[in-house]
Amino acid sequence: MPIYHTLGNIPHKRHTQFRKPDGTLYAEELVSTEGFSSLYSLVYHAYPPTIVKELGEPYSVEPKIAREKHLKHTSLIGFNIKTEDDYLQSRKPVLVNSDLHISLAAPRKSMTDYFYKNSQADEVIFIHEGTGTLKTGFGKLKFEYGDYLVIPRGTIYQMQFDGEQNRLFIVESFSPIRTPKRYRNQYGQLMEHAPYCERDIKRPTDLETHDEKGDFKILIKKQGLIYPYIYGTHPFDFVGWDGFHYPWAFSIHDFEPITGRVHQPPPVHQTFEGHNFVICSFVPRKFDYHPLSIPAPYNHSNVDSDEVLYYVDGDFMSRKHVVKGQITLHPGGIPHGPAPGSVDKSIGKESTEELAVMIDPFRPLMLTEDAVNIEDGDYYKSWIF
């Protein structure tokens, strides 16, 4: 999110001497994206961020593909993913392609004995259940139900949960996550017609400098492998930083719906974008107000993209028998639409209370073994009268 932010102490000019009270230098680090051509931040550490004491053997967390090619409307019962204590072990990739991985997670415990860094992807973590704090060197971000946590690649973090009942919907993007271009002016500011603005963005607060030496385990993900690193200093030793590259959060409850006289297409719900995919938010809203409007969505042929819908909460007007955490995948190549009876039933209704996250990728998604294990095999028959 292109908003300048700063916390802690920084020198008056960048790339100049910045000394500790004892006269030694703080360690400056440039954290940059797309080489030196996109967003970056300057970080000032108590110690150089390069002190590696030990390297462990990497291990694979590559998704295990069960169905590479398919043309079948699919439903996954997401809350059937089992809870696990460990945060990383609880993350189960279910739908993947070369642009993004979609995972479900139900961790019970906070991260206490290690830190995590995804070096291959930006992460968008949607908080379906649970509250807590995302802890990074940039500061703290408190999260709750409905928050999207946007964590740029290369950010070392820990998830601290307030309780053991946590459900997460996670998108790993191999391109930067951005706000939709059509909502921004030439200077990057969100414009008046955008469904949210900078006031809605939660930025890190409460910078704590951990001036500590010791053995600090950081699990780093790169190209489908986890590399165990032991660093000699605490990764959250930032004394100050400034720039545009840092984790941030946005609540789905702050998304202001765009409505019209007739049914509006999915792009009005767009919240974020990556390369070859978009993320949309369906929120409670007034229905169309043309006297002959049909609130239910029309049948749609996905010609160029798959469509993924993650059901969060509320009453879903277009489909019966929906449960929280359910995922539907409508692959490109065949039409889909409202369930039988939903069209007539929607006429005359004035509003909906549905809450959902939608992802439209422009490359076909593959199903993993974890996805097949929670699949509702008869979903494709749900349009039979």
Rg (CA), the chain: 22
Is 336 part of any known ligand binding site?
Answer: yes
Residues 180, 315, 164, 168, CA torsion sign: negative
Q: Which of 136, 118, 85, 81 is nearest to 103 (CA)?
A: 81
Active site residues: 263
Residue 288 labelled as part of a binding site: no
Cα–Cα distance for residue pair 154/221, rounded to 1 Å:
9
Give just the sign of the alpha carbon dihedral 10, 15, 16, 22: positive
- 3-state secondary structure labels for all residues of the chain: CCCCEEEECCCCCCCCCCECCCCCECEEEEEECCCCCCCEEEEEECCCCCCEEEECCCEECCCCEEECCCCCCEEEEHHHCCCECCHHHHCEEEEECCCEEEEEECECCCCCCCEEEECCCEEEEEEEECCEEEEECCEEEEECCCEEEEECCCCEEEEEECCCCCEEEEEEECCCCECCHHHECCCCCECCCCCCCHHHCECCECCCCCCCEEEEEEEEEECCEEEEEEEEECCCCEEEEEECCCCEEEEHHHCCCCCCCCCCCHHHHEEEEECCEEEEEECCEECCCCCCCCCCCCCEECCCCCEEEEEEECCCCCCCCCCCCEEEEECCCCEECCCCCHHHHHCCCCEECCEEEEEEECCCCEEEHHHHCCEECCHHHCCCC
> Annotation-wise, does 193 bind a ligand?
no
Binding residues for homogentisate, as ranges, are: 336
